[in-house]
Structure 1
Amino acid sequence: MADSLRHKTIHGVGWSFIDNISNSGITFLVGLVLARLLTPEEYGIMAMIAIFIAISNSIIDSGFSNALIRKTRIERVDYSTVFYFNLTVSILIYALLYLAAPTISVFFKEPVLLAVIRIIGWVLIINALAIIPRTQFVRNVDFKTQTKVSLISSISSGVIGIGMALGGMGVWSLVGQQLFRQFLNTLFLWVYSKWHPVWEFSMKSFKELFGFGSKLLLSGLLDTIYKNIYYIVIGRFYTSAQLGQYTRAEQFNMIFSSNLTSVVQRVSYPVLSSIQEEPERLREAYRKVIKITMLITFACMLGLAAVAKPLILILIGEKWLPAVYFLQIICFSGILYPLHAINLNILQVKGRSDLFLKLEIIKKIIAVGPIVVGIAYGIEYMLWGSVLTSFIAYFLNSYYSANLINYPTGEQLKDILPTFLISFVVAAFMWSVSFWNISVYALLPIQLFAGILLALFIYEKLHLDEYLEVKQLVLSVLKRR
């Protein structure tokens, strides 16, 4: 049983990681090409509407996906009930967004937003159609199929976006890329899932699922607003060019922080849910997930901060140089995101969506401070404030989850401290190399090569359990290939 769970987890993590790389990684590579063809102002325009799309998607899902994943026994009517609710809400929200487009355009003082919002808003309905097939794959820890879908949609939409940019279509190339990616993703999820709704709706099923999901909905809305509120603040009080610089920094950060967080959430939630009635086993599985995840996270995020300048100069050019400092600060803020996700997953696994909501409210109240400071003093102060709130949020999350599985915050910190110190030393060494007076094209590979060698040397000497686990996993994959 334990070996089966381990295999299921490793298999899920592997394919989930590949899925994220294919979905956001390929999109990121396409974004590098588009960043050279487009301007920071055009990226800024797209960022201005990001919060409206993100909030709308949260409302449409309404926490039903997690409720379905967690439910032990699923009936056919459960899926159909959620499907019709999601679809109806998506149509209503698109209509509201369509009517609000003129007001949003005036608020940001960008006339082109009127048409952009009314076109990009179609992704809400498209995404609603994909929720049930995607939920079924996640519930079954089947990320292999989702990877195939992501590859098809990401590559195809990337080609379309680049073609539109080369044709001089500006911001519309970004709109086209997003629309086609979501359309193709939804289309192939339906093809592979072979699921279809039936004409039935159960109020009993709705109430049961919404009872759990509604609190996650409110929590998700608060988190979504917080993650995207900087777009509104920067877009309203600064320039679209500055907003564009910030969004590019965010997209570099997402390569590791958001992808790792997504992988951890998607895989650990259904796996941990399957052993929720076995306290000791749950605690040990949870502890192992934290140690392995943070080894990778610390290395990636601190390393990214160390090589930020040559990386951005080489990949997207000097016009994006202001994004370097933004990226370095964001790396320190995002370094704990996967740890947040793991701790919050425990609350969901234990059915404590009420605590989940309570935590989100407390954390978002705390987060208001940096936003106010940012409006008054500048973007950099706002970002440094987000670093502070990220650390405060971790202690809050871990305090509540610790009580549920007997894994105190102090033990968590003790478990992850060795890998943090190693990654910090390695990143500091990589950063010191950046002061060498050489071309950035030579600097970046030297930094990466030196950092990897130093990290491997230290880990091989210390023989940490989490390192050996990762090493064994990598070697087993390579042997299979």
Structure 2
Amino acid sequence: MSRLTTLVQRLIPSGGTGQRAAKSAVWLFGQNMVDRMLPLVLLVILARLVGPLELGLVGIALVSMSALRSLTEVGLNEALIQRVEDNVDRYLNTVLAMEVARGVLIFGVLFLAAPFIGRLFDAPAATPLIQVMAVSAVLRGLKNPAVVYFQKNLEYHKLFVYNTGGTLAFFFTGLALALWDPSAWAWVGAFLAADIVRLVSSYVIHDYRPGIGFDREAAGDLIHFGKWITGSSILYFLYNEGDDVFVGWLLSPVALAYYQYAYRMSNAPATELSQVVAGVMFPAFSKFQTDVKRLRESYFTTIRLVAFVAVPMGIGFAVVTPAFVESAFGAEWLPMVVAMQVLALYGVYRAIGKTMGALWKAVGRPDYITKTSLLKVLVIAVFIYPVTVRWGITGTAVLVLGVNLLVSMPINLYITAKVLETTSLRILSETTYPLVASGVMAAATWYVGQALVLPAWVELCVMIVTGGVVYAAAVLALDLGTNWGMRANLRQLVASVVS
């Protein structure tokens, strides 16, 4: 126990910005692993118990909630984090008042609109699910606004406790309800349990106690920065979940379940990495926002490490998808295999793209996110109907990947290069070695999968081990034979964490 205590104490963020960011990344990665893995395990259990139709109803409720949250997002936390001053207490009462008002608004709109939403998706059984889940908006609005300090000050050990407590409540509540009454209500009950635990813990972990008050000047300062976050939040919903809405409306709740599961499972590894990057590097980059040289060096190190992890995760997942779906979900879910493989590749782009979004917000240009997101939404809107009608959820997945690679990536690279005073090719070069190593890994893993005639779960395990060993060997060979420098970066990262 003493060794564990010592380890935890050494991982508490301290030292310079680089050391604090590295240690915070460890906490955030651990948090995101728990936050992602436990809900995914619960999803797999529910998939086996209730099937795609019930989970399609859950998907409708989740999309409805997400739509209202995106429409009312004003970027208050981002505005507080981006501010240069360390103490932002004078804003917190105003933030609480605005968040409570937002929560009440979302609850009222969702509760009244639920019957219409049920008819829109031809799924009236989703109506009560939406109405009960709407309570979540009020619970989230009441949380202690001072939890923003955990991210602003890179105190991610506290954020770990705050978020992980809610995730554990979500998992065990959902598991108990699923075993007692296997239905969509298990997920709704778990969702609310997580929000209740996080609400209580927000006041336990941080000693700040907000009062009742509203400062119009403070609100104006925050909204001035957050207005672009609002726009990007709406557009993020449209290009990130608008396809979910379209699939559920055009096809069926079952198709929606296939598509949402394909997205969540395939993007899980890269998404966790992207959340770590966005969460840690935004406040870290913000501290260098006036020093282009340090900002550029920090960004190159970040994207190099992100590509090192995200590229093999996405490509590797695409290779093992058939065995994964058959072993985890069963034959009933096999129609989502191809869409899941395509979306796994999209997850690679998404993880790398998160580094750019964090950079843009850190230098005070969140409008870049809004403007580039608008372009993606417009292009997807033009083509989504014909490709979905013709090829179903696979066509939708290919469209999402194609728009991001062919339209968004060149523009994002150009903007990022301009901010860092470098070139697009210099940024893109950081993905070259991971792509080569991942290609070797994919070929070896695919060959092993084709050669084996084993139960799906055994085949999956063998393929994962093969992929890990081959990728490690390829990375070592490339690092020894070129100037990649990945081993040095990893040693530096470890030194920053344990120092």
TMscore range, shorter length: over 0.9
Aligned position for 1:16? 28
Counterpart selection for 2:475 from 448, 452, 459: 459
Q: Distance in 2 between matches of 1:124 and 1:374?
A: 35
Amino acid in the other structure paired with 1:469 = N
Residues 434, 443 of structure 1: 8 Å contact kept: yes
1:50 aligns with 2:62: yes
Deviations 1:172-212 (A, max 9, x none): 01111111112212221221022221233211111111011
Q: Distance in 2 between matches of 1:187 and 1:131?
A: 9
Counterpart selection for 2:389 from 373, 376, 396: 376
Residues 239, 376 of structure 2: 8 Å contact kept: no
Q: Distance in 2 between matches of 1:227 and 1:262?
A: 15
Gaps of 5+ in 2: 1-13
Amino acid in the other structure paired with 1:465 = G
1:469 aligns with 2:489: yes
Q: Distance in 2 between matches of 1:318 and 1:149?
A: 38
Residues 12, 142 of structure 1: 8 Å contact kept: yes
C-alpha distance 471-374 of structure 1, shift in aligned 2 (>3 A):
farther
Amino acid in the other structure paired with 1:142 = E
Aligned position for 2:417? 402
Residues 98, 117 of structure 1: 8 Å contact kept: yes
Identity level (%):
21
Alignment of 1:204-243 (within 5 A): 204-243=217-256
Q: Distance in 2 between matches of 1:340 and 1:421?
A: 20
Offset of residue 461 of structure 1: 2.0
Alignment of 1:279-358 (within 5 A): 279-358=292-371
Counterpart selection for 2:459 from 443, 447, 455: 443
Counterpart selection for 1:247 from 223, 245, 260: 260
C-alpha distance 327-314 of structure 1, shift in aligned 2 (>3 A):
same
Q: Distance in 2 between matches of 1:410 and 1:3?
A: 34
Counterpart selection for 2:285 from 258, 272, 287: 272
2:47 aligned counterpart, secondary structure: helix
Aligned position for 2:11? none
1:307 aligned counterpart, secondary structure: helix
Offset of residue 462 of structure 1: 2.3
Offset of residue 374 of structure 1: 3.2
Offset of residue 476 of structure 1: 8.4
2:168 aligned counterpart, secondary structure: helix
Q: Distance in 2 between matches of 1:261 and 1:165?
A: 30
Residues 295, 467 of structure 1: 8 Å contact kept: no
Deviations 1:92-113 (A, max 9, x none): 2211111111111111111112
Offset of residue 467 of structure 1: 4.2
TM-score between the two structures when normalised by the length of structure 1: 0.94
Gaps of 5+ in 1: none
Aligned residues: 478
1:201 aligned counterpart, secondary structure: coil
Deviations 1:377-424 (A, max 9, x none): 122112111111111212212211211111321111112111112112
Residues 20, 259 of structure 1: 8 Å contact kept: yes
2:108 aligned counterpart, secondary structure: helix
Aligned position for 1:172? 185
Q: Distance in 1 between matches of 2:100 and 2:15?
A: 40
Counterpart selection for 1:364 from 377, 394, 400: 377
Show structure 1 runs of 4+ deviating over 3 A.
Answer: 471-477
Residues 139, 270 of structure 1: 8 Å contact kept: yes
1:130 aligned counterpart, secondary structure: coil
Alignment of 1:106-185 (within 5 A): 106-130=119-143, 132-185=145-198
TM-score between the two structures when normalised by the length of structure 2: 0.91
1:387 aligned counterpart, secondary structure: helix
Counterpart selection for 1:431 from 446, 454, 457: 446
